[in-house]
Amino acid sequence: MKVSDDNKNSEADYQPKSPGKPGVLKIMQSILAGAIGVQSDKRRQEDFSSHSPVPYIVAGLLFTATFVIGLIIIVKLVLASQ
């Protein structure tokens, strides 16, 4: 009786998926998770194994600018209502 060779070949030929270009949703999730401090170690390692840090840097800067501008607007609205 012969064991199926198809199963052996598929396991032997398996190569881990190399990190590709991250999608917009993945970048946004990583930035938001990192900003509030709930980023998992596995996800952080995936982010750092990405080919280029540029998308994460740009998204981080945009998030920070949006956050600061949002806080300024909220403070001005609260102070104006007093």
CA 24 to CA 37: how far, in whole Å? 20
- Give burial (CB, 10 Å; 0-12/13-18/19+) of 31: buried
Domain span at 39: 20-80
52 assigned to some structural domain? yes
Q: Is residue 62 part of a domain?
A: yes
Q: What pLDDT score was predicted for residue 15?
A: 47
* Residue 58 is assigned to a structural domain of this protein: yes
Residue 13: inside a domain, yes or no?
Answer: no
Q: What is the number of other CB atoms lying within 10 angstroms of the CB of residue 23?
A: 10
Q: What's the total number of domains in the chain?
A: 1
pLDDT on residue 68: 97
The tens place of each residue's pLDDT in the chain, 82 residues long, gives: 555 555 555 444 544 455 567 788 988 999 999 888 888 888 888 888 877 888 889 999 999 999 999 999 999 999 998 8
